[in-house]
Structure formats: C-alpha cells, structure tokens
C-alpha cells in the first residue's frame, strides 16, 4: 500500500485538509475591504442622488471604475471565504456541505462576474 513519498501522503490531509492560506487570505481581503468598502460607502453618501445619469456618470469615470472592480473582486473573495467557514461549522452532512460549498463558489464567482461585466459595460459603452 505504501507508494509515494511521506510528504505526498500527508500534503493537504491535515485536520483542516489545508494550511493557513484560507485564514491569511481572509485577513488580507478584510484589510482591502476596510479601504475599499469604506470608500464606497462614503462615496455613496456623498452622491447628490441615485438617478441613472448620476450613477452611470460616476461609475464611468476611470478611477471609480477601477476601484469598483477591485472592490468587487475583494468583496466576493472575502464573502466566499467567510461563508465557507459558516457552512463548515454548521453543516455536518458531508454531501450537503460539499454541495453547498460548490453552490457558494457559483454564487461568489457569478456575482463578481455580473458586477465586473456591468462595470466594464458602463465604463466603456457609456451605458447604452
């Protein structure tokens, strides 16, 4: 039965089945969120109104569009990591947990794709 190296057998099979990367990226994206989401909330409060022209005009300016794309990637990455921990803590059936984490990945990547494509369309297409 003993084929492969000792390292190969244990890699990725610790009690958590992974190393500290998840925890660390949660912190890195959290730090990013402090800056990006705070900027977003302050910007939203400062907008004169939330009408179509105001919002698309604001989103179309380059620095806003770039910050919004970074924010989207950061937020959806952070929420994917966070919700994964919640599922792992409360869903004890292995099959359900597996399925729900797959669904979570679809939600996180899909939500981010919708937001980033929309931002690109507004920025490049002058919101047709």
Partner 1 sequence: MPGDRTRPLSPHLQIWKWGPHMLVSILHRVTGVGLAIVGGLLFSGWLLAAASGGETYGWFLGLLTVESGAINIVGAVIGIGLSWAFFTHLFNGLRHFVLDTGAGYGLRTNRLWAIVVVSAAIVATLALWVWLLWGTLFSSMGAA
Cα Rg of the chain, angstroms:
20
91 makes contact with partner 1 (CB under 8 A): no
Single residue of 25, 39, 56, 97 touching partner 1 by CB under 8 A:
56
Residue number, 3 or 120, with CB nearest to partner 1: 120
Single residue of 25, 28, 32, 59 touching partner 1 by CB under 8 A:
59
Single residue of 28, 73, 88, 111 touching partner 1 by CB under 8 A:
111
Take residue 27 and report the two structure tokens written for it.
């912190």
Residue number, 8 or 102, with CB nearest to partner 1: 102
- 107: nearest Cα among 71, 76, 68, 75: 76
Q: What is the spatial distance between Cα 95 and Cα 83, in angstroms, rounded to a whole number?
A: 17
Give me the torsion for CA of 105, 111, 116, 119, rounded to 10°: -170
Residue number, 8 or 54, with CB nearest to partner 1: 54
State in angstroms the smallest separation of the CB of 114 from partner 1: 4
37 makes contact with partner 1 (CB under 8 A): yes
Take residue 125 and report the two structure tokens written for it.
């297409």
128 makes contact with partner 1 (CB under 8 A): yes
């Amino acid at each position: 039965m003993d084929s492969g190296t000792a390292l190969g057998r244990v890699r990725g099979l610790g009690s958590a089945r992974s190393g500290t990367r998840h925890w660390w990226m949660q912190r890195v994206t959290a730090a990013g969120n402090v800056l990006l989401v705070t900027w977003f909330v302050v910007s939203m409060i400062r907008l004169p109104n939330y009408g179509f022209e105001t919002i698309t005009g604001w989103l179309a300016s380059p620095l806003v569009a770039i910050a919004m794309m970074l924010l989207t990637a950061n937020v959806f990455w952070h929420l994917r990591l966070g919700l994964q921990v919640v599922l792992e803590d409360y869903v004890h059936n292995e099959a359900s947990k597996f399925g729900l984490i797959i669904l979570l990945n679809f939600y996180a990547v899909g939500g981010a794709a919708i937001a980033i494509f929309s931002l690109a369309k507004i920025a490049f297409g002058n919101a047709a």
